[in-house]
Amino acid sequence: MTQDHPFICHFKICFSKKKFVKLVLSKKRVKTTIIKIVTFKPLQLKDEILVSIVTSNQHNDVTKNFTLEQSVLQLLKFLKEDFYQADLFTLEKDWHLLYYRSGKFKMKSKPPTLHVVDMRHDHVKKRILDPIGNIYLEQLGVTTKEGLVKKGKQDKYLQINKYIEIIEAILSAVHLPQSFNVVDMGAGKGYLTFALYDYLHNKLKRKPKVLGIELRKELVEKCNFIAKKAKYDHLSFEQGEIKDAVLPKIDVLMALHACDIATDDAIARGINDQAKVILAAPCCHKQVRKSMKNQGSLAVLTKFGIMEARQAEILTDTIRALVLESYGYKTKVFEFIATDHTPKNILIAAVKTKKTSVPNPVIKEQITTLKANFGIAFHELERLMEIKT
Ligand SMILES: C[S@@+](CC[C@H](N)C(=O)[O-])C[C@H]1O[C@@H](n2cnc3c(N)ncnc32)[C@H](O)[C@@H]1O
């Protein structure tokens, strides 16, 4: 492997365009070496942007900073001596490189899974939501009275911040009027509803009304109590069903981990209201699984329980994304938090870019073909939209 290898070129180009998020080396060539994984990240030091290389072994991490040229030499050396695999994450694409013992390699790209370049030092990395003096985080049991994140709540805190980082990237590319409405469908305990309100009002200094819809009365009461205590005057929670709750005009809709077809109810309401932004993190995928009957050579796919479940997830969310696209939404589907924090980690993020209330016939046809190929009797979101038209 040399300096002009396409993978190295992608690394250099994205670094110079400030679109380099991180690079991870894995799959050890020699099982007994103590290095487990190596991560490259951009690091801003005064006026200079360097590459910070973190070498992790079983007991500790060693961090050293390099210029781009030096880091390329390091990368070449690591790939020659220590690792078979490299994953480059950029704002434009993710690049996957895999070497074989024979010395041959394969390289492929896919749409980006990470959307924020963070050039800060790890130890000064500050999360978007400040835990100090934060009433809702304390009331929800994430922080102590002193504003320290509780030991068992680090993952929750990280997840909330990560979610806000993603929203930040999406909303920064969307024009929303000074006053707008955010609706959170299936708000649950309200972690993400409060966090989004906090971010929009206190960081962005915007003044949207935020409404959480939730089935469970006790959660609604608790969230309203906390909103009052935090003096979040434009935030309220109402008990109701996603499919028929009385709502204001929706500008931003989120439905995070609402169960099964509740996600479809939520997305349908967002589409029908021409919401500018729709964010859905699907939860269980029972509806499609039940109405799916693979036929012919595909029948074997549903022989193994977990594979059937995975297939149902993929098909359910692909069709959701396609329905959104058919109604003029530019749609992305990506992982929004590492799988060790939560298994429910897919986010469908859709931004209305075309003013249409009629589905695109080409995409409709794609959905019909997909359903026919996999023996899906119906998809709830499509059914809901058909009732409407
Ligand atoms: C898994 S929790 C997720 C809570 C929150 N969105 C989050 O991601 O942290 C799902 C919540 O959605 C609520 N829910 C499920 N179906 C609903 C429906 N049809 N209408 C209103 N709320 C619903 C449940 O009661 C539950 O509190």
- Separation of 188 CA from ligand 1 center, angstroms? 5
pLDDT at 365: 96
The length of the chain, given as a count of residues: 389
- How many other CB atoms are there within 10 angstroms of residue 206's CB atom? 16
Specify the ligand 1 atom closest to the Cα of 255: 6
Q: Taking a C-beta distance cutoff of 8 angstroms, is the pair 254, 184 a contact?
A: yes
pLDDT at 125: 58
pLDDT at 239: 98
pLDDT at 164: 92
- How many other CB atoms are there within 10 angstroms of residue 225's CB atom? 12
How far, in Å, CA of 123 to CA of 387, rounded? 53
Supply 306's token pair. 């977990």
277-281 and 252-256 beta bridge pairing: parallel
* Positions of the chain with pLDDT lower than 50, given as ranges: 124, 339-341, 389
Residue nearest to atom 12 of ligand 1 (CA): 186
Specify the ligand 1 atom closest to the Cα of 262: 19
Show the ligand 1 pocket: residues with CB < 6 angstroms: 186-188, 191-192, 213-216, 219, 241-242, 256-259, 262, 283
Percent of the chain with pLDDT over 70: 95
> 86 - beta bridge partners?
25, 97
> 352 - beta bridge partners?
329
Specify the CATH class of 127-388 in words.
alpha beta
pLDDT, tens digit (0-9, with 9 covering 90-100), for 112-136: 877 778 887 765 456 788 888 899 9
- Mapping DSSP to helix (H, G, I), strand (E, B) and coil, where does residue 263 land? helix
Specify the ligand 1 atom closest to the Cα of 242: 20
Query: Which residue, 266, 307, 262, 292, is CA-closest to 372?
Result: 292
Specify the ligand 1 atom closest to the Cα of 191: 9
Supply 164's token pair. 């806000």
How far, in Å, CA of 122 to CA of 93, rounded? 24
> 235 - beta bridge partners?
210
pLDDT at 106: 96
- Separation of 9 CA from ligand 1 center, angstroms? 45
pLDDT at 341: 45
pLDDT at 303: 80
Our mutation pick for probing the ligand 1 site, out of 215, 237, 341, counting the most ligand atoms within 8 A of Cβ, is: 215
Percent of the chain with pLDDT over 90: 65
pLDDT, tens digit (0-9, with 9 covering 90-100), for 82-118: 999 999 999 999 999 999 999 999 999 999 877 778 8
Stated pTM of the model:
0.71
Q: Taking a C-beta distance cutoff of 8 angstroms, is the pair 312, 285 a contact?
A: yes
pLDDT at 343: 56
Domain boundaries defined on the chain: 6-122, 127-388
Amino acid at 41: K
Supply 104's token pair. 């041959």
Q: Taking a C-beta distance cutoff of 8 angstroms, is the pair 212, 193 a contact?
A: yes
- Separation of 271 CA from ligand 1 center, angstroms? 19
Q: Taking a C-beta distance cutoff of 8 angstroms, is the pair 259, 284 a contact?
A: yes
Residue nearest to atom 25 of ligand 1 (CA): 215
Query: Which residue, 191, 144, 188, is CA-closest to 164?
Result: 191
Our mutation pick for probing the ligand 1 site, out of 210, 214, 216, 346, counting the most ligand atoms within 8 A of Cβ, is: 214
Supply 186's token pair. 């299936």
Strands (E), the chain: 20-28, 35-45, 48-57, 61-66, 83-90, 94-99, 105-110, 181-185, 209-214, 235-239, 252-256, 277-281, 329-335, 346-352
- Separation of 262 CA from ligand 1 center, angstroms? 8
How far, in Å, CA of 154 to CA of 160, rounded? 10
Contacts of 90 (CB under 8 A, 6+ apart): 10, 14, 19, 20, 21, 112
DSSP line for 16-39: HTT-EEEEEEEEESSTT-SEEEEE
Residue nearest to atom 4 of ligand 1 (CA): 188
Our mutation pick for probing the ligand 1 site, out of 160, 223, 242, counting the most ligand atoms within 8 A of Cβ, is: 242
How far, in Å, CA of 354 to CA of 342, rounded? 33
> 95 - beta bridge partners?
88, 109
- Separation of 257 CA from ligand 1 center, angstroms? 7
